[in-house]
A and B are shown apart, each in its own frame.
Chain A
Amino acid sequence: MGKKVAGSGPCSRIPDNSAFKQQRLPAWSPSLTAETVLPFFYIIGLVCVLLGVALFLTVQKIQEIQVDYTTSGTCDACFEMRSNKMSASVKCRCSVDFSLKENFQEDVFLYYGLVNFHQNLRRYMDSRDDGQLVGRTTNLKNPSTYCEPFAYNNGTPIAPCGAIANSMFNDSFTLKYLPPTGGVVIVPFYRTGIAWYTDKNVKFRNPQIENELLPQVFQGTAQPFYWQKPVYELDPSDPNNNGFINEDFIVWMREAAFPSFKKLYGILNRQSKAIFEHGLPAGNYSVTISYNFPAQYFQGKKLVVLSTVSWFGGKNIFLPIAYIVTGGVILVVAVVLTVVYIKIGKKGLNMEE
């Protein structure tokens, strides 16, 4: 209610004369004028088209072949066998033949692909315990509740727990080259070096207990329900590729964003045999599959993919096409805008005063 008491000075309540308070801050006020917008459109359009073309040419050089082995080749029988839960532990091998029409230059990557496998379901993705996977001994014996119902097997903690680990892809492949000269050459693949560096070295760690070997560390834990062997025996050939740091496991644990995906299985070892020094030669191939992973439950497909890569990744025609289309549309629009500006728009420039 009180009147404001005037202060001491003659102009005691005068606001500060600062640029900020007077809203006179120096500023840049850009505006969408023809001189800025039109050149911008031409440049962006041109850049997009050029990028698109460059990408397109690059993509053209990439070779890729996908082989669906769900039921093809001799895999029918295995497919049937996996449909029956009773025979889940019975081993089944089959093979599929295919041929490469061109040489696959340089590094060749072997992928397995799954179609219609929803690794991106919310509860599926949550069903893991990163604490356990990073090697925390407490989490090893007390898996997170997120892992339910794959946390305990009759009271024994499961390691690795959770739905993702439980459903790990467990087919294995042997690629054979059938040279025209006859005979069979097994194509050698690196089975390590296929995971991200951070995954392999930071995110996944085996539990460390002094003076104990891996099997002893994992003592008191159960293997996941669907697994045929415990986690510390995943790679019989390489003892350092076992436990949580097994690279197939790591690759599997990096969930795919979409129901159809491919994951890296191996990289061609070009050093070990002379014919593979420059990649895979064209010709006939046969892939032998140890067929364990059931696909019929989710009406899925299983693929083997061989591919080379470029600086910008694998064979994907979407990006180059998208760039070319976008660039093209922008260029067309730019021309239309220019016409519109010259014919009509300039009138608007004049200020009637």
Chain B
Amino acid sequence: QNFPAKGENQGKRILKKDREDNHIKTSKYNIFTFLPINLFEQFQRVANAYFLFLLILQLIPQVSSLSWFTTIVPLALVLTITAVKDATDDYFRHKSDQQVNSRQSQVLLSGRLQSEQWMNVRVGDIIKLENNQFVAADLLLLSSSEPYGLSYVETAELDGETNLKVRQALTVTSELGADIHKLAEFDGEVVCEPPNNKLDRFTGTLLWKDGKFPLDNGKLLLRGCVLRNTEWCFGMVIFAGLETKLMQNCGRTTFKRTSIDRLMNTLVLWIFGFLMCMGIILAIGNSVWEKSVGGNFRKLYLPWDEVLSDAFFSGFLTFWSYIIILNTVVPISLYVSVEVIRLGHSYFINWDRRMYQAQRDTPAEARTTTLNEELGQVEYIFSDKTGTLTQNIMVFSKCSINGKIYGEVYDEFGHKLEITEKTPCVDFSFNPLRDRRFRFHDHSLLEAMKLDETAVREFFRLLALCHTVMPEEKMEGELVYQAQSPDEGALVTAARNFGFVFRARTPETITVYELGKAVTYQLLAILDFNNVRKRMSVIVRNPQGRARLYCKGADTILFDRLEPASEELLCTTSEHLNEFAGEGLRTLALAYRDLDEDFFQGWMQRLREACSLVEKREDLLASLYEEMEREMTLLGATAIEDKLEQGVAETIACLTLASIKIWVLTGDKMETAINIAYSCNMLRDDMNEVFVISGHSVLEVQQQLKSAKEQILGSNREPSVSDCADTEKSDAKLDSVFEEAISVEYALVINGHSLAHALEADLEGLLLDTACLCRTVICCRVTPLQKAQVVELVKRRRRAVTLAIGDGANDVSMIKTAHIGVGISGQEGMQAVLASDYSFAQFRHLQRLLLVHGRWSYFRMCNFLCYFFYKNFAFTLVHFWFGFFCGFSAQTVYDQWFITLFNIVYTSLPVLAMGLFDQDVNEKNSIRFPKLYEPGQLNLLFNKRQFFLCSLQGAYTSFTLFFIPYGALYHGVRDDGANVTDQQSFAVTIATSLVIVASVQIGLDTNYWTAINHFYIWGSLAVYFSILFAMHSNGIFGIFPSQFPFIGTARSSLSQPVVWLVILLTTVVCVAPVLVVRFLRADLYPTQTDKVRRWQLASRRQHPHEQGLRRVRRTSSRRSAYAFAHQEGYGELITSGRNMRFTGPAPESGLGSTSDPGPHTWKMHSSSSWIENLLKKRGLTTGSSPKCRPDNSTERWHTEGIPGDQHTD
């Protein structure tokens, strides 16, 4: 075999045999390493190590106060459950590895193409890729089916961008084409940088045929991309397997822990301390007792060895014995139970049909199973805009043509109707080339079109001509538009449906089917869009030979360049534009200009000259464009709806009522962001003030922030301050469910460059203070890094739980930074989802995730923890009290089997059932009363105080559990005269009381008794009694007399009325105070939950009456001016013809008439520079001297409408 191509890493030559293969491995274990590695990992956890230590202690006979099985049974159970979970996880990793590794690809082997599994592909191999195939490894593009060695890739899996990217092979290699022999003989050598995770950077050199060719990112196809619009291409593997940029990017994400987790760890440490204290007290007690009382008794009846009979040493041993006995205050099963509950909650999220989106067939997914309860504590939401709040779907919704508005529907009385799904659509069936998905509701426009109104026709002709859309017609009549921005797509599609079908283009012509008739225009020039110009124009010559300029652009810009005669129309259109803007629509103004032939020829000449310049070309072009685009005639305006995701406004309103603050962090322009904020109801007209921070220097920003803060504080000193101040959080009012938030409202809008200053160390405090005083905060034009910084700032300084939600690659950093990251599994690829903790299809699901699942999770987890600590204190502290009666000898109260089984069998399932299924308020009311979410934010349900209270309750219970039986049985006898005060009867009495009290308590704590709860609670009691009788039975005693010495105790004790009287009294005394406290609290200081529960109960009794959430109305009367959601550079692409494919079915008539290139066609650049240029503009490559780069470098990356497209550096 001949593999001359070599990948070389930093000068180190890789030999042929150990060339890196493409095998990837994300799994951790295999069958043989699983047990040792997993056990090692598990014993690294403090809790497990602690119990191992206990186990060792128990093996020392002088110390051992409990048999070894009391620890090893729960420990083994815990280890097994964890191991099973780890094994399952790893199994799925193995499976997905296997699936990826065994994908097929075509590899050039021994001079011919062979199908190979991905894992067998090696560095240096040459691979053939076909259209729509995944790229198997990082490849150097050698040649492709497209002209000039171009190929198109979709990088959605890598960076989340759905638009196609262009890659171009080196000219020398692209000449290889599809010639297998030549390719097989290819013996180039690549020297490149070592593998790294930078997706947008690559430097290397190809050494071939005595030539040195520089390589950059534009020649690389990265693993994970999909080849699009390219029939085939060949590439040489440079990085394979784990060295690919994709795998290098799959770094271990930082492990997120919830605040409850951290609290739990602190509490466990506290309990350790408490345990030590108890041990010390009892050890001292033992020393004293030995000295004063026990010594004499023991001398006679219980002699130790000499050494051990020293009182001090005895105390020391007793300490360890008591550590063993009392270890159950640190619940071994706590961590496992918490994991199980979280896993359950995650499944409930995955199973929720109301978070399933049918259109994309996407259910919600909890990708992390450890964060659920934190969902109930979120205070700040950081949201991306495009794709999250908006669908990034543009719909041609209205237009104003020649002073008349189209697109509105009126009923017979002339009232404007709201357009809904049911509104009848215009029938476009007359047009065989229509786009069937296009909907328009106003019939009058079509009628106007049919009536041959010139303005209307010219309007749509403009829309069909003035754009940079590429048509694709795979089959006759099936047109697909490749639009660079969704706005443009929407406009061209509108024109298409109204009969002006843009069907084909060449670099020199545009073919439009005007009402069924093919008309071919000569494309004379494209005056491309940029962010300064905010408009684009085309100059076309119609078949009649007239040259005309068509221009569309931002109204503010365009209105300055109209001929004076349009004045009247301008006023009407301007009014219409106001109206459109008020509805949150994105507007464009359209105009045309008939060109004088002489003037045009002169201009064209100058343009050609300008283009050949190297210096100052941009400036010169700009002024030439300026010269051309004036004295235009206004045609009208379009209004495009940037469709909000379903239910966004309602969700935001609801979350705001739940005191969650929503910040929008977007890469979009300020105008767009503000407009969307208005349509989401985040900004409203009745807000006191919207502060816009857009300073360019630190001082400016500081000044603006300060004045904003002073203004807020000055006018409204008392009420709104507490809104944000953490110190006053606890006494936040929870009075009314529908309490309107602060009446005085402010909003803050901050720009990206101002934010850069504001995020500096000395200003961030001010920024945060000001931002928190505002109800709405919008950051626009922020980089992904800034998004993360903002989240980090709030996380660090506010100590609040933050949630970041986004859908694109630019949201990944903030998703990873926030406590909880939510990915929208939308159109922008998987990157955000892969980095997220939760994912679902639409923003509106957030409401349910937080208010239902999050709140329940938090509520359940807190209740669970309270009960768990209570139970263990009640269970364990009995030994402490008994210590005072048994000479501190570390004698247990209970049977050892009871100690072993209490936590894992008798009481585990009911509390698990509560932790999994409990509901304080049902889901409907959880959403209806968003105020119910507040206890989570204020951390009310489980905190140190709650822990203290439930431990105290546990201690009280243990006290009762011990002293009531003590008092009752102290001198008691049975009804047959035999004594009942023996230790075994006492043990059974207390154990039974404990199980019953614990069951009653869990019954009180359970708010939602499903069949499962009933089954577990009653079942646990039944299991307790069956196991009790089984262990105290003759049979088992006959087999193991030493292990089951309690023979007959259950029978004898539980048949005694006095024992039941004791149990009853104990239960009543334990439970009654809890009932009193709870009743009084619910009665005197009812929480929101209590109120809603009562209301729920009452409304269930009465007839249930439905009442939806208040409908949120959009109220806005803002005037906005939009430029294109567009990027520059595509004009060049079209006129140079590089992206044209001549393979598709071309319209016969269109091409025929333009076979002559014509004197007016022109090319701007030399053939190799345009694509480089385009890539540069899009920030894909850096370095190397640009020939034609925009001078405004700050504006360079800020293109609009395609999120994820920006800030790649």
- A residues in contact (CB < 8 Å) with B: 1-3, 6, 10-17, 21-23, 25-34, 37, 40-41, 44, 48, 51, 55, 107, 109, 111, 116-125, 127, 129-131, 133-134, 136, 144, 149, 163, 166-167, 194-199, 202-203, 251, 254-264, 267, 294, 297-299, 307, 309-316, 318-319, 322-323, 326, 330, 333, 337, 340-341, 344-345, 348-349, 351-353
- Check B300 for interface membership: any CB of A closer than 8 A: yes
Interface residues of B in 963-993 (CB under 8 A from A): 964, 966-987
Distance from A253 Cβ to chain B, minimum over Cβ atoms (Å): 10
A257, B986: Cβ atoms closer than 8 Å: yes
- Check B715 for interface membership: any CB of A closer than 8 A: no
A267, B977: Cβ atoms closer than 8 Å: yes
Residue of A nearest to B103 (CB): A2
A-contact 0/1 string along B1080-1092, CB 8 Å cutoff: 1011101000111
Q: Which of A12, A311, A316 touches B361 (beta carbons < 8 Å)? A: A12
Most chain B CB atoms below 10 A, which of A22, A119, A257: A257
B297, A118: Cβ atoms closer than 8 Å: yes
Residue of A nearest to B1047 (CB): A203
- List chain B residues, Cβ under 8 A from A323: 1061, 1065
Q: Please list 5 pairs of residues, one from A and one from B, whose beta carbons are closer than 8 Å in the complex, sorted by A's number.
A: A22-B353, A25-B917, A109-B973, A257-B986, A297-B299
Q: Which of B351, B919, B1075 touches A22 (beta carbons < 8 Å)? A: B351
- Check B10 for interface membership: any CB of A closer than 8 A: no
- List chain A residues, Cβ under 8 A from B100: 1-2
Cα distance, A197 to B986, chains bound together (Å): 18
Q: Decide: A316 near B246, CB < 8 A? Known: A55-B1061, A196-B1052.
A: no
A29, B1008: Cβ atoms closer than 8 Å: yes
- List chain A residues, Cβ under 8 A from B1069: 326
A144, B981: Cβ atoms closer than 8 Å: no
Cα distance, A195 to B979, chains bound together (Å): 9
Stretch at the interface among B233-241, B268-276, B540-548, B887-895: B887-895
B1084, A340: Cβ atoms closer than 8 Å: yes
- List chain B residues, Cβ under 8 A from A22: 351-353
A352, B1072: Cβ atoms closer than 8 Å: no
- Check B1011 for interface membership: any CB of A closer than 8 A: yes
B974, A351: Cβ atoms closer than 8 Å: no
B297, A32: Cβ atoms closer than 8 Å: no
- B residues in contact (CB < 8 Å) with A: 65, 96, 99-100, 157, 224, 246, 250, 293-294, 296-303, 321, 347-348, 350-353, 356, 358, 361-363, 735-738, 830, 834, 856, 885-887, 889-892, 917, 919, 923, 964, 966-987, 1007-1013, 1034, 1037-1038, 1041-1042, 1045, 1047-1048, 1051-1052, 1056-1058, 1061-1062, 1065, 1068-1069, 1072, 1075-1076, 1078-1080, 1082-1084, 1086, 1090-1095, 1097
- List chain A residues, Cβ under 8 A from B1052: 196-198
Distance from A20 Cβ to chain B, minimum over Cβ atoms (Å): 8
Cα distance, A314 to B978, chains bound together (Å): 10
Q: Which of A30, A44, A195, A267 touches B1072 (beta carbons < 8 Å)? A: A44
Q: Decide: A2 near B96, CB < 8 A? Known: A256-B982, A309-B977, A344-B1084.
A: yes
Cα distance, A31 to B1095, chains bound together (Å): 11
A28, B1065: Cβ atoms closer than 8 Å: no
Q: Decide: A199 near B1048, CB < 8 A? Known: A129-B1042, A313-B975, A318-B970.
A: yes
Distance from A33 Cβ to chain B, minimum over Cβ atoms (Å): 7
B1068, A330: Cβ atoms closer than 8 Å: yes
B977, A351: Cβ atoms closer than 8 Å: no
Distance from B100 Cβ to chain A, minimum over Cβ atoms (Å): 7
Distance from A9 Cβ to chain B, minimum over Cβ atoms (Å): 9
B972, A121: Cβ atoms closer than 8 Å: no
- List chain A residues, Cβ under 8 A from B738: 352-353
B982, A121: Cβ atoms closer than 8 Å: no
B979, A122: Cβ atoms closer than 8 Å: no
Q: Which of A10, A123, A316, A351 touches B737 (beta carbons < 8 Å)? A: A351
- List chain A residues, Cβ under 8 A from B1080: 337, 340
B923, A297: Cβ atoms closer than 8 Å: no
- List chain A residues, Cβ under 8 A from B1037: 134, 202-203
Q: Which of A3, A149, A341 touches B1083 (beta carbons < 8 Å)? A: A341
A122, B321: Cβ atoms closer than 8 Å: yes
Residue of A nearest to B1062 (CB): A319
Number of interchain pairs (Cβ within 8 Å): 312
A124, B1047: Cβ atoms closer than 8 Å: no
Distance from B639 Cβ to chain A, minimum over Cβ atoms (Å): 34
Distance from B883 Cβ to chain A, minimum over Cβ atoms (Å): 10
Distance from A19 Cβ to chain B, minimum over Cβ atoms (Å): 9
- List chain A residues, Cβ under 8 A from B975: 309-313
A258, B973: Cβ atoms closer than 8 Å: no
Q: Decide: A316 near B972, CB < 8 A? Known: A51-B1061, A351-B737.
A: yes
Cα distance, A81 to B856, chains bound together (Å): 74
Q: Which of A120, A131, A149 touches B1042 (beta carbons < 8 Å)? A: A131
B1079, A37: Cβ atoms closer than 8 Å: yes
- List chain B residues, Cβ under 8 A from A333: 1072, 1076
Most chain A CB atoms below 10 A, which of B972, B984, B1011: B972
- List chain B residues, Cβ under 8 A from A341: 1083
Cα distance, A228 to B246, chains bound together (Å): 88
Q: A121-B891, A196-B1052, A257-B982 are in contact. List 5 more A-B contacts (CB 8 A).
A: A25-B1012, A41-B1075, A48-B1068, A309-B974, A352-B737
A44, B1068: Cβ atoms closer than 8 Å: yes
Q: Which of A166, A262, A349 touches B301 (beta carbons < 8 Å)? A: A166
Residue of B nearest to A296 (CB): B296
Q: Decide: A263 near B979, CB < 8 A? Known: A15-B350, A117-B297, A353-B738.
A: yes
- List chain A residues, Cβ under 8 A from B1042: 129-131, 144
Cα distance, A38 to B351, chains bound together (Å): 41
B301, A255: Cβ atoms closer than 8 Å: no
- List chain A residues, Cβ under 8 A from B968: 316, 318-319, 322
A11, B978: Cβ atoms closer than 8 Å: no
Cα distance, A222 to B1097, chains bound together (Å): 75
Q: Which of B919, B977, B1065, B1092 touches A264 (beta carbons < 8 Å)? A: B977
- List chain B residues, Cβ under 8 A from A37: 1075, 1079
A29, B1048: Cβ atoms closer than 8 Å: no
- List chain B residues, Cβ under 8 A from A16: 351
Cα distance, A167 to B361, chains bound together (Å): 79
B1007, A31: Cβ atoms closer than 8 Å: yes
Q: Decide: A31 near B737, CB < 8 A? Known: A202-B1048, A319-B1062, A326-B1065.
A: no
A124, B302: Cβ atoms closer than 8 Å: yes
Q: Which of A167, A256, A313 touches B1056 (beta carbons < 8 Å)? A: A313
Q: Decide: A202 near B1034, CB < 8 A? Known: A27-B1010, A32-B1079, A297-B296.
A: yes
- List chain B residues, Cβ under 8 A from A134: 1037-1038, 1041
Residue of B nearest to A333 (CB): B1076
- List chain B residues, Cβ under 8 A from A310: 975
- List chain B residues, Cβ under 8 A from A23: 348, 856, 917, 919, 923
A319, B301: Cβ atoms closer than 8 Å: no
- List chain B residues, Cβ under 8 A from A315: 971
B1072, A313: Cβ atoms closer than 8 Å: no
- List chain B residues, Cβ under 8 A from A13: 356, 361-363
Cα distance, A314 to B973, chains bound together (Å): 5
A14, B157: Cβ atoms closer than 8 Å: no
Q: Which of B298, B361, B983 touches A11 (beta carbons < 8 Å)? A: B361
Distance from A78 Cβ to chain B, minimum over Cβ atoms (Å): 17
- List chain A residues, Cβ under 8 A from B834: 1
B983, A125: Cβ atoms closer than 8 Å: yes
B983, A122: Cβ atoms closer than 8 Å: no
- List chain B residues, Cβ under 8 A from A26: 1010-1011
A29, B919: Cβ atoms closer than 8 Å: yes
Q: Decide: A33 near B983, CB < 8 A? Known: A120-B885, A262-B971.
A: no
B363, A264: Cβ atoms closer than 8 Å: no
Q: Which of B348, B970, B1061 touches A258 (beta carbons < 8 Å)? A: B970
Q: Decide: A313 near B1083, CB < 8 A? Known: A198-B1047, A318-B967.
A: no
- List chain B residues, Cβ under 8 A from A29: 919, 1007-1009, 1093, 1097
Residue of B nearest to A40 (CB): B1075
